[in-house]
Amino acid sequence: MSATSAATANGLTVYVPRDASALSLGAERVARAMAEQARQRGLDIRLVRNGSRGLLWAEPLVEVQTPAGRIAYGPVRAADVGALFDAGFLQGGAHALRLGPTEEIPYLKRQERLCFARVGLDDPLDLDAYVAAGGFAGLRNALAIAPAAIVKAVTDSGLRGRGGAAFPTGIKWKTVLDTPAAPDPAGAGPPRKYVVCNADEGDSGTFSDRMLMEGDPFTLVEGMAIAGIACGAAQGYIYLRCEYPHAQRTLARAIEIARARGYLGADLLGSGRCFELELRLGAGAYICGEETALLESLEGRRGQVRFRPPLPAVKGLFGAPTVLNNVITFASVPAVLAGGAEYYREFGLGRSRGTLPIQLAGNIRRGGLVEKAFGVSLGELLYDYGGGSRSGRPIRAVQVGGPLGAYLPESRFDTPLDYEAFAGFGAMLGHGGIVAFDDSVDMAAQARFAMEFCAAESCGKCTPCRIGSTRGVEVIDRLRAGQQPQAQEALLRDLCETLTHGSLCALGGLTPAPVLSALNHFPEDFKTGNRESGIGRKAAFTTPDSRLPIPGTE
């Protein structure tokens, strides 16, 4: 038995997350305190810095390996460490912070984790641990079949892009596969195709990309390598937002390790197939989350939206056919190739297959990541997992899909998470971010923020987005001030129609969604008298017994 295995068997392995959210709450101080307490007590512990399990309300979440499995404690502060040792936490001892066996915590136990199955299990850069947990099985299966068979598996799985448009991934990949490669512009190399990962996660309330890249980077590497093999691309790029320094360091090291072990490079696992991967940083522009603006930036130009057609799948990066998906889409691919298309299709409903990592944020008691099969309702997420509002007041509205997503009232809380169900009433799932607001929120102010956000982040290429958003802020200000309210509301609705149908990309095209949803569902907030008197803040969502706090998570 190795020294590591012996330490684990003796219950002396302690896990402290290295995820940015845990670090922001003092995980580094907790890790140092753990090491110091062990030194003072003459204990030889193995301290593993793992990824976050996604229970952000319990971070830093410390786990200890015992003969009965991993036991969780949280949220742990550095000042708690001495008392934990005194309570015998290395053997799973009782303590006020003890949450019990990690896998039995209701918040985690009731999830269906495919994409995030390995996040939090071990050191994110331990490639041997990744392989032992089933990692790279999908890549090995992909190398054993023809590219068209890989694309067919992805198509049959029903996987759709886990971004705003939810476009079927297999159709995009098939387009790239069937499109002739572009000649090398210098004439010195082979024809070119590319794989590009959009890791410019900029939507409010979203953090699944970051958690995956920091907690399980090899899954992203594997998914992109499979895409390269499937579509005939030998080069991939990860376009990462510069605000993610921890993800940057982890990804850069993961790419080095994968290359050294033969999972990247000129000869993937001795197959003769080639796929190389590079990490590039964006400069913080929200518009570069739009795929064509991202390509412009990646090519070294200002991030501005391109006219379409041609689509990136036909003429993308450097004029070559390009597979462009986001982090969660690529990270879902290994599960498809490892388990098979039918296995993946067993999760979800209708045309929404598989699972979606959902991020609970805003005024929510138990914020964090919940990966569930499509079909779970907003109410289940907000109350069974989120525990209601952090303030204790009724949840009045939620915004789903980032700053361009619609605001949904209580009457929509029974809506299942399903692309078509949301599209049916003008909303979208987007990246799976859910931001909750209690009944003290001013929805007119939220509508104004949407227009203001668009004005600030517009690339400026098209008039409806560049000018319309600025005029939108002015119209909302006049409406809120009570200046000819009927005329201003009509003008606002007309302006939103122009933005929807006249903008070049989704930034301007989707900005009306939060504005109109606030106006339609919460009209009282746009009336000066009601806003000042607090009318419209009293809607309550009664929490039934089935949605009382989850035992063992308090």
169-216, pLDDT tens digit by residue?
A: 999 999 999 999 988 876 767 789 999 999 999 888 899 999 999 999
- Mean pLDDT value across residues 278-299: 93
Residue 117 tokens, joined: 């199955």
More confident residue, 525 or 164: 525
Chain Cα centroid distance, residue 380: 19
- Mean pLDDT value across residues 462-479: 91
Domain with CATH 3.10.20.600 in the chain: 348-438
User: What does the pLDDT look like over 379-393, one tens digit per residue?
Assistant: 999 999 999 999 999
Euclidean distance between CA atoms 241 and 279, whole angstroms: 11
pTM for the model: 0.91
Domain with CATH 3.40.30.10 in the chain: 3-109
Euclidean distance between CA atoms 110 and 90, whole angstroms: 26
What is the amino acid identity at position 384? D
Among candidate residues 434, 435, 433, 432, the one with its CA nearest the CA of residue 373: 432
Asked if 74 contacts 105 with a C-beta cutoff of 8 angstroms, the reply is no
Asked if 249 contacts 216 with a C-beta cutoff of 8 angstroms, the reply is no
pLDDT higher than 50, residue 551: no
pLDDT higher than 50, residue 547: no
Multiple choice CATH, 348-438, 3.10.20.600, 3.40.30.10, 3.30.70.240, 1.10.340.30: 3.10.20.600
The architecture CATH gives domain 443-533: Up-down Bundle (1.20)
Asked if 204 contacts 362 with a C-beta cutoff of 8 angstroms, the reply is no
To which residue do tokens 């605000």 refer? 243
> What does the pLDDT read at residue 262?
96
pLDDT higher than 50, residue 6: no
154-158, 398-402, 545-549: which has the highest mean pLDDT? Answer: 154-158
pLDDT higher than 70, residue 341: yes
Strand intervals (E) in 160-253? 194-199, 235-240
> What does the pLDDT read at residue 510?
87
> What does the pLDDT read at residue 536?
41
Asked if 44 contacts 4 with a C-beta cutoff of 8 angstroms, the reply is no
Lowest-confidence region among 168-177, 295-304, 318-327, 533-542: 533-542
Lowest-confidence region among 150-164, 230-244, 332-346, 504-518: 504-518
Euclidean distance between CA atoms 286 and 282, whole angstroms: 10
- Mean pLDDT value across residues 310-324: 95
- Mean pLDDT value across residues 96-115: 97
Euclidean distance between CA atoms 247 and 242, whole angstroms: 9
Q: What is the mean pLDDT of the chain?
A: 90
Residue 329, phi then psi, degrees to nearest 5: -65, -50
> What does the pLDDT read at residue 535?
40
pLDDT higher than 80, residue 10: no
- Mean pLDDT value across residues 411-419: 93
pLDDT higher than 90, residue 532: no
User: What does the pLDDT look like over 33-67, one tens digit per residue?
Assistant: 999 999 999 999 999 999 999 999 999 999 999 99
- Mean pLDDT value across residues 339-356: 95
Residue 354 tokens, joined: 């598989």
Residue 65 tokens, joined: 């390996």
Where does 127-345 sit in CATH, by number?
3.40.50.11540
Residue 311 tokens, joined: 């689509």
Domain with CATH 3.40.50.11540 in the chain: 127-345
Asked if 349 contacts 333 with a C-beta cutoff of 8 angstroms, the reply is no
What does 268-328 look like in DSSP terms, one character per residue?
A: GGGSS--BEEEEEE--S-GGGGSHHHHHHHHTTS---PPPSSSPTTTS-GGGS-EEEEEHH
Q: Does domain 3-109 have CATH number 3.40.1790.10?
A: no
pLDDT higher than 70, residue 544: no
Euclidean distance between CA atoms 548 and 174, whole angstroms: 47
